[in-house]
Amino acid sequence: MDIRKLKGVRKISALTAYDFLMARVVDEAGIDVVLVGDSLGMVVLGACDTKGVTIEDMIRHTGAVMKGVRNALVVCDLPLESCVSVSRVLVDARKVREITGCGCMKIEGKPELVRALVSAGFEVMGHTGLKPQEADTFKVQRGDFVLDEAKAIEAAGAFSIVLECVPADLACRITDELRIPTIGIGAGVGCDGQILVLPDMLGLNPDFKPKFLRKYADVYGVAKNAVKRYKEDVEKGIFPSASESYGQDK
């Protein structure tokens, strides 16, 4: 899937995924890009931010996602610990590619690392605006420094760029000024595409309600109700039924 060619043709759809079954759902629904985000720190591992995610975490989950995806482009988010130097980022990206088969990486900021990865034959998705690996608070990113960094990331060879928590008018300007597609999260409708964190858009976390999030389902409610019904059936002794049990061997 060449995401670059979609700029100006149609909007690009992207979602995160972290495991085999949900990656298959996302891929079979026809989403263009599946990002194995380091947001897995929060939504899979229960941490309060992405900073402690390891390259081993990313390799394990990217491997699972690769098994569930047939058509979409899979992107592995390189964690903070990988993005400390050119030598470290190259070692870690090569590990990801060798073990999982995924040769497409995402990097927050750091155009010099984008350039090194592109020179080494990787496809790289950039990321600017709010950069959770650096930020201590959730804050909309206003100002020309966002445009400047987006341009530097494009010049370093990225094939697309995530704009996170950027005012809609600034995101439109960046989208107009770049040749590569912009993928927004909290950046308005003017971007070339949109991305959301899958468990958030499925409504799996009732406590998470940022302004930019649209919840497309109440999976928390559905799952909790199913689990409650299962508990009741077990306690009443009506699960399993005879048809859900094995007969004696013939």
CA-CA distances (angstroms) from residue 105 to 76, 89, 94, 235?
Answer: 5, 10, 10, 48
Letters for 20-59 (x = contact with ligand KIV by CB under 6 A, - = none) are ---------------x-xxx--------------------
Q: Taking a C-beta distance cutoff of 8 angstroms, is the pair 97, 117 a contact? A: no
Residue 35 or 114 with smaller CB distance to ligand KIV = 35
Residue 38 or 154 with smaller CB distance to ligand KIV = 38
Distance, CA of 30 to CA of 66 (rounded, Å): 15
The residue number whose beta carbon is nearest to ligand KIV equals 37
Choice from 16, 100, 160, 175 touching ligand KIV (CB under 6 A): 16
Active site residue 112: no
- Contacts (CB under 6 A) with ligand KIV, residues 64-93: 77
The H-assigned helical ranges of 70-218 are: 86-100, 111-119, 144-155, 168-177, 198-201
Q: What is the 8-class DSSP label of residue 103?
A: -
Regarding 199 and contact with ligand KIV (CB under 6 A), the answer is: no
Of residues 108, 123, 149, 164, which has the active-site annotation? 164
Q: What is the closest distance, in whole angstroms, from the C-beta atom of residue 52 to ligand KIV in the complex?
A: 13
Residue 29 or 226 with smaller CB distance to ligand KIV = 29
On the CB side of 82, CA atoms within 13 Å amount to 28
- Give the contacts of 64 (CB within 8 A, at least 6 positions apart): 18, 19, 20, 23
Question: DSSP per residue over 124-159, as a string?
Answer: EEEEEES-TTT-SS-----SHHHHHHHHHHHHTT-S
Q: Which amino acid, residue 171?
A: A
Regarding 197 and contact with ligand KIV (CB under 6 A), the answer is: yes
Q: What is the closest distance, in whole angstroms, from the C-beta atom of residue 101 to ligand KIV in the complex?
A: 20
Q: What is the closest distance, in whole angstroms, from the C-beta atom of residue 51 to ligand KIV in the complex?
A: 12
Residue 153 or 185 with smaller CB distance to ligand KIV = 185
Residue 64 or 240 with smaller CB distance to ligand KIV = 64
Q: What is the 8-class DSSP label of residue 31?
A: -
Distance, CA of 26 to CA of 43 (rounded, Å): 17
| Positions marked active-site | 164
* Residues forming the site for ligand KIV (CB under 6 A): 16, 35, 37-39, 77, 162, 185, 195, 197
